[in-house]
Structure 1
Amino acid sequence: MDIAVEPDGPTDGAARRREQRGWYWYDWANSVYSTTVLTVFLGPYLTSVAKAAADAHGFVHPLGIPVRAGSFYAYSVSASLLLSVLAMPLAAAAADRSGRKKPLLGCCAYVGAAATTGMFFLDGDRYLLGGALLIIANVSFVVSMMLYNSYLPQIAAPEERDAVSSRGWAFGYAAGALVLVANLVLYAGHASFGLSEGSAVRICLASAGLWWAVFTVVPLRRLRDRFPARAATAPAPAPAPGGGLRQLRETLRDLRRHPLTLGFLLAYLVYNDGVQTVITQASVFGSEELGLDQTTLIVAVLLVQALAAAGAVLMGRLARRYGAKRTILGSLVAWTAVIVAGYFLPAHAPVWFFCLAVAIGLVLGGSQALSRSLYSHLIPRGKEAEYFAAYEISDRGVSWLGPLVFGVAYQVTGSYRDAIVSLAAFFVIGFVLLSRVPVRRAVIAAGNRAPDLI
């Protein structure tokens, strides 16, 4: 005999909209960490702290291992992504099997927010503290995003998901731009505030953690746990004791029973690798190839943040008219055009670089939001968190091929223009792979109802 359960999918309209509005606020809460900490401030600052601690040869020695100070930040990010790959499947299995997703989300959010706020104490030569806080914050951020994304099919009916996902991305980009403007005012005018440059950076880092903590209260108040139906005498099974890798193998084994869903993930892995590489290498291209200064690059980041919010909403509307798959395919064509245009940008011309930032912003948020909503249709009921763990691993855990191609292209040609245009291959191949996925048939094969337009 089954125990009483919460409905697994969307409920009545008023309750559903209340949850959706709460869900948006987690994007608002955590996107500031991604923008202020990862994109702008922490990399250069932690590198300077590591260099202050380096020996005469420029090396630091975490755990007795010689590491060049300039590489410490990159290694810390890589370590956090590796740990995320191990942690996500365990958290996902616990969430799906117990139904207690909200406490896990809250735990990850507040551990990450606490670690980010603790970066205020990162000064002098405390590079080990910085690396540890970065790893804790980043693992918490990635796992919480996996749990957050897995709510989408539970709080939105099939025909609503493109719009709901797009609004979430728009909320996040708007918050990132808002706080980044305030941070840059503090950073640029630190002397007038009686602060050193380092103190201003530490306040900016800590502000991201406080923002994350304060606004996480809203989704935790409005989102609901959904408990899976099971025999009253049978407790929810615990995650496999072999750890994250064993649970990941189980999820991938289940994915093989849904080859069309796996086909979408492969396409997403390819074109998203191109997206992530453009995001991480655009500043290198701007500074090294185009000769642009730091102020120009920061203004370009703000343009991308602001327009990505508008682009996510605009592409959500296009998806309602043309379907998510066609809109994503159109965005991949736009991405290819952006890459080719970047190849021809003149040096020392900030206006043209700003035009490129505008184009990136308009397609960035929408392509990410619609990919998330389209994937949500392809997940078997009751396995949302496990399947979104695989999605997050595709998003963050294996985005290494694009930077490798970029680096090899530069090494062979000596030109960042050739390196940037080489990334067009990711969008072309991703377009071909996605165009071959019959998404309506994939939705039905996953046991879900297909919306009228997808």
Structure 2
Amino acid sequence: MWAGVTDTAQRRREQRGWYFYDWACSVYSTSVLTVFLGPYLTSVAESAADADGFVHPLGIPVRAGSFFAYSVSLSVILAVVVMPLVGSAADRTGRKKPLLGAAAYTGAAATTGMFFLDGDRYLLGGVLLIVANAAQSVATMLYNSYLPQIAPPEERDAVSSRGWAFGYVAGSLVLVADLVLYSGHASFGLSESAAVRICLASAGLWWGAFTLVPLGRLRDRRATGSRATAGHGLRQLVATVRDMRRHPLTLAFLLAYLVYNDGIQTVVSQASVYGSEELDLGQSTLIGAVLLVQVLAVGGALAMGRLARTYGAKRTILGSLVAWTVTLGAGYFLPARAPVMFFVLAGGIGLVLGGSQALSRSLFSHLVPPGKEAEYFSAYELSDRGMSWLGPLLFGMTYQLTGSYRSAIISLAAFFVIGFVLLARVPVRRAIGEAGNQVPERM
């Protein structure tokens, strides 16, 4: 029986507050991480580079074009170290809201500080990116953990979907404003650099301002695991992985997902760098392309959901991985200064982006043993973050070794090819049965 808030009015109030955290933080993902920071930080690093095109953080030679990708990788590694500790503290004390606030405002402050990222301050940009990205991961983990407490099982899908929709709407609105500011920066008396820095900083201000809403409406619950110790989060993760060994087919699916999802996340985070540095596209084109992805991702998810009802989730996901591979291949051959073709490519990404992840999550839910949903999904989220540094690392290393962004982008096809092979080998119907769940008619 669900042990959450039974008072309907109070539950609805918390749910509405919960939606607003997605509204607050999604702007960071779209405006900062996806659109502006990659190309801008790369240009700052290039201005600080030596004659051979290298910068030297801590004395380590790094090709300027790889600096952003390496910084993303480091931020994910930091998040993976911090998340179990913060999660354990939240479970042990029951004071989840102060931890959410601390993580959110750390990320918002670092993002706002990007206003001062000019000249050759690439190290400042790298530090701010690492802090902001890790803080966002920690805050998102805490935010997601509220869902079982504020929504009974029969409401959970709808509540989760509304939060997701809030985030996409906020990201789209702010991107439109960013496009106006960036495109008309001269008429506002701003340089191009100043316009970008304002767009970056405003995302941090937006994040901080709207985080006040969930912090005002969500409430802490008394801790149920009073015996938890400081290392409980790490021990629980280890225990869950050990339990997964009793369900090797569930673990096999999780491995396939982690591989191809890493490819998805890397394409999203590095596409703007590829578009600006290799394809010589302007920032306005990149913003428009991301807006197109935002809009089509919603429709694509709905369309892939319908396909899954006809062909099954596994086949639909496999089809999406083929589409991702074809899209990367097309991106490799895309001519420079061809914005229309880039928009077509962005449209392809948008159509498969939302559905790939939504169907993967729903398929995994069938492979979780009854009564262990929260435990398995905690490992799912933490493992997801743990793998998502490999794609940016491969992208950065490929560029460092070859000096070609085309080679770097096509290298990511390996994640989709390997993920396809691993997923194809998972007998999903048998995996569902061995997990102790009823096998749906079509999978």
Same fold (TM over 0.5): yes
Q: What per-residue deviation string (whole Å, max 9, x for no partner) do you get for residues 149-201 of structure 1?
A: 22333333444444433332222222112111211221221111111222111
Alpha-carbon shift at residue 84 of structure 1 (Å): 0.9
For residues 238 and 250 of structure 2, the distance between their equivalents in structure 1, rounded to whole angstroms, comes to: 16
Aligned residue number for residue 26 of structure 2:
31
Aligned residue number for residue 131 of structure 2:
136
Aligned residue number for residue 308 of structure 1:
297
For residues 55 and 428 of structure 2, the distance between their equivalents in structure 1, rounded to whole angstroms, comes to: 49
Matched, 1:171 2:163: no
Counterpart of 2:70, as a letter, is Y
Matched, 1:218 2:213: yes
Where in structure 2 are the equivalents of 1:335-350 lying within 5 Å?
335-337=321-323, 339-340=325-326, 343=329, 347=335, 350=339
Aligned residue number for residue 388 of structure 1:
378
Matched, 1:86 2:81: yes
Where in structure 2 are the equivalents of 1:69-218 lying within 5 Å?
69-218=64-213
Q: What per-residue deviation string (whole Å, max 9, x for no partner) do you get for residues 375-399 of structure 1?
A: 5673886984885254243246445
For residues 131 and 406 of structure 1, the distance between their equivalents in structure 2, rounded to whole angstroms, comes to: 14
Counterpart of 1:119, as a letter, is M
> Do the aligned partners of residues 142 and 452 (structure 1) sit closer, same or farther apart at CA in structure 2, a change above 3 Å counting?
farther
> Do the aligned partners of residues 61 and 272 (structure 1) sit closer, same or farther apart at CA in structure 2, a change above 3 Å counting?
closer
For residues 91 and 290 of structure 2, the distance between their equivalents in structure 1, rounded to whole angstroms, comes to: 37
Asked whether the equivalents of residues 88 and 228 of structure 2 are also in contact (C-alpha less than 8 Å), the reply is: no
> Do the aligned partners of residues 299 and 435 (structure 1) sit closer, same or farther apart at CA in structure 2, a change above 3 Å counting?
farther
Where in structure 2 are the equivalents of 1:1-12 lying within 5 Å?
8-9=3-4, 11=6
Q: Which runs of 5+ in 1 are unaligned?
A: 1-5
TM-score by length of 1: 0.78
Where in structure 2 are the equivalents of 1:325-336 lying within 5 Å?
326-327=312-313, 329-336=315-322
* SS of alignment partner, residue 222 of structure 2: coil
Q: What per-residue deviation string (whole Å, max 9, x for no partner) do you get for residues 20-63 of structure 1?
A: 33322222111111111111212232233334444565554444
Alpha-carbon shift at residue 141 of structure 1 (Å): 0.5
Alpha-carbon shift at residue 205 of structure 1 (Å): 0.8
The number of equivalent residue pairs is 436
TM-score by length of 2: 0.80
Asked whether the equivalents of residues 104 and 208 of structure 2 are also in contact (C-alpha less than 8 Å), the reply is: yes
RMSD of equivalent CA atoms: 4.2
Q: What per-residue deviation string (whole Å, max 9, x for no partner) do you get for residues 222-264 of structure 1?
A: 333333446xxxx4433229xx877754553454456565344
* SS of alignment partner, residue 195 of structure 1: coil
Q: 2:264 aligns with which of 275, 282, 286?
A: 275
Aligned residue number for residue 229 of structure 2:
238
> Do the aligned partners of residues 283 and 217 (structure 1) sit closer, same or farther apart at CA in structure 2, a change above 3 Å counting?
closer
Asked whether the equivalents of residues 43 and 73 of structure 1 are also in contact (C-alpha less than 8 Å), the reply is: yes
Alpha-carbon shift at residue 311 of structure 1 (Å): 3.8
Alpha-carbon shift at residue 408 of structure 1 (Å): 6.8
Asked whether the equivalents of residues 297 and 350 of structure 2 are also in contact (C-alpha less than 8 Å), the reply is: yes
For residues 168 and 63 of structure 1, the distance between their equivalents in structure 2, rounded to whole angstroms, comes to: 41
Alpha-carbon shift at residue 79 of structure 1 (Å): 1.7
> Do the aligned partners of residues 8 and 384 (structure 1) sit closer, same or farther apart at CA in structure 2, a change above 3 Å counting?
farther
Aligned residue number for residue 360 of structure 1:
349
Where in structure 2 are the equivalents of 1:394-409 lying within 5 Å?
394-395=384-385, 397-400=387-390, 404=394
* SS of alignment partner, residue 239 of structure 1: coil
Residue identity (%) = 60
For residues 332 and 115 of structure 1, the distance between their equivalents in structure 2, rounded to whole angstroms, comes to: 38
Asked whether the equivalents of residues 70 and 393 of structure 2 are also in contact (C-alpha less than 8 Å), the reply is: no
For residues 314 and 148 of structure 2, the distance between their equivalents in structure 1, rounded to whole angstroms, comes to: 19
Asked whether the equivalents of residues 340 and 424 of structure 1 are also in contact (C-alpha less than 8 Å), the reply is: no
For residues 44 and 414 of structure 2, the distance between their equivalents in structure 1, rounded to whole angstroms, comes to: 34
> Do the aligned partners of residues 369 and 221 (structure 1) sit closer, same or farther apart at CA in structure 2, a change above 3 Å counting?
farther
Asked whether the equivalents of residues 179 and 284 of structure 2 are also in contact (C-alpha less than 8 Å), the reply is: no
For residues 387 and 96 of structure 2, the distance between their equivalents in structure 1, rounded to whole angstroms, comes to: 22
Asked whether the equivalents of residues 304 and 355 of structure 2 are also in contact (C-alpha less than 8 Å), the reply is: yes
Asked whether the equivalents of residues 274 and 405 of structure 2 are also in contact (C-alpha less than 8 Å), the reply is: no
Counterpart of 2:15, as a letter, is Q
Q: What per-residue deviation string (whole Å, max 9, x for no partner) do you get for residues 415-436 of structure 1?
A: 7696576554145235425652
Aligned residue number for residue 3 of structure 1:
none
For residues 337 and 351 of structure 1, the distance between their equivalents in structure 2, rounded to whole angstroms, comes to: 19
Q: 1:43 aligns with which of 13, 38, 59?
A: 38
Asked whether the equivalents of residues 407 and 419 of structure 1 are also in contact (C-alpha less than 8 Å), the reply is: no
- Of 341-350 and 294-303, the range deviating more from structure 2: 341-350
